[in-house]
Amino acid sequence: MSFTNGFGHVCNGAVRMDKARRGIEWPTLALMAACYGLWIAAIFWLSTIWLPLGIIGATLAVTQHSSLTHEAIHGHPFRSMWLNEATVFTPLGLSVPYRRFRDLHLAHHVDSILTEPYDDPETNYLDPTVWHTLPRWVQRILIINNTLAGRMVFGPAISLMALVKEDWNAVHAGDKGILYAWVLHGVGVIPVIGLVVVSPMPFWAYAIAAYAGFSILKIRTFLEHQAHERASGRTVVIEDRGPLALLFLNNNLHAVHHMHPSVPWYRLPGLWARNRDKYLGRNEHYYYASYRQIFARHLFRAKDPVPHPIYTAHREPAE
């Protein structure tokens, strides 16, 4: 990918240097060890001190593990794809198969199709024609889902139901790759469930933690992308350096990540700091100062309509 006004030379140079230096990415590997350590502590120790404390610890571990899974999809902490998959093979969140997440997320990284209802697998926008055919009660739920509170409460269930329905239809139609992804997921879930069952934490409490972890992730994905005529104007930057930024592994600098998907999480803030104005110029200043600002604006207020506001079925992809 190249950029004008010398920006491409700066940023692509940084990416090339990063690739040239790559061996084992120790910060990511250390965080993985800490994540699994927190998870074990939550279910075997913290839950015996006070069950809500154990649930909180497990929730944080589930959230961090999902962000680390995202890193593995993008080639971290090892050069080997199978080693990266092995580091996150046990799905602490129970619900989403790694290989389904991988395939759908990498498809999402084609910037020209971002937010398109039929092409972007991670969009929440619908084709306006489809929207008008939905029952009123479904429309109401989806409108609530477009507030931050609604996305956190209902979003995980809506996403999982949509994924299961889509994958069931695909498997029924003969897609063996998707079936294999779910089989591998089942194998990975077994040790997670097994350890929870033998731990002091009740399984119902762990189920709450798994759902809550998915709910926290919905804060990150809530407004990562917006409908915009230009593909470069569709991806947000949230300049937050608090606990959520660590849980999300700096993916709040989402425009930076989309422009440099092979750069590890701990290098994104440096890229952002060196090229802040140019990133904001490229993404049409789609920007928030912090997650606190997002909560204040959108906790109970929809960020945009559910039907895609500028979608036309046969238009050419935006540049």
CB atoms under 10 Å from CB of 56, counted, come to 15
Residue 305 has pLDDT above 80, yes or no: yes
**pLDDT, position 11:** 45
Q: Given a cut of 90, is residue 283 above it in pLDDT?
A: yes
pLDDT of 314? 45
What are the pLDDT digits (tens) for 52-81? 999 999 999 999 999 999 999 999 999 999
Proportion of the chain above pLDDT 90, given as a percent = 89
- pLDDT category of residue 104 using cuts at 50, 70 and 90: very high
- pLDDT given for residue 12 in this prediction: 45
Q: Report pLDDT for 13.
A: 42
- Provide the pLDDT confidence category of residue 22 given band limits of 50, 70 and 90: low
Radius of gyration for the alpha carbons in the chain, expressed in angstroms and rounded? 20
Mean pLDDT of 213-219: 98
Q: Specify the pLDDT at position 263.
A: 97
Model confidence, pTM: 0.90
Please give the full DSSP string across the chain, using - where no structure is assigned.
---STTHHHHHHHHHHHHHHH-S--HHHHHHHHHHHHHHHHIIIIIHHH-HHHHHHHHHHHHHHHHHHHHHHHTT-S-S-HHHHHHHT-S-TTSSS-HHHHHHHHHHHT-GGGTT-TTT-TT---B-HHHHTTS-HHHHHHHHHHTSHHHHHHHHHHHHHHHHHHHHHHHHHTT-HHHHHHHHHHHHHHHHHHHHHHHSSS-HHHHHHHHHHHHHHHHHHHTTSB---SSGGGSB-EE---SHHHHHTTTTTSHHHHHH-TTS-GGGHHHHHHHSHHHHHHHTTT-EES-HHHHHHHHSSS-SS-SB-TT--TTPPPP-
- What per-residue confidence (pLDDT) applies to 21? 52
249: left (phi over 0), alpha (psi -120 to 50) or beta: left
**Section 123-144 average pLDDT:** 96
Q: What would the mean pLDDT of 268-294 be, rounded to a whole number?
A: 96
Q: How confident is the model at residue 213 (pLDDT cuts 50, 70, 90)?
A: very high
Percentage with pLDDT > 70 across the chain = 91
Average pLDDT of the chain? 91
DSSP states of 14-64: HHHHHHHH-S--HHHHHHHHHHHHHHHHIIIIIHHH-HHHHHHHHHHHHHH
| 32-35, Cβ contacts within 8 angstroms, sequence gap of 24 or more | 32/68, 32/77, 32/87, 32/88, 35/61, 35/64, 35/65, 35/68
Mean pLDDT of 5-33: 63
pLDDT score, position 10:
38
Q: Are 76 and 261 in contact (CB under 8 A)?
A: no
More confident residue, 4 or 142: 142
Once rounded to an integer, what is the mean pLDDT over residues 303-318? 74
Question: What's the pLDDT at 311?
Answer: 85
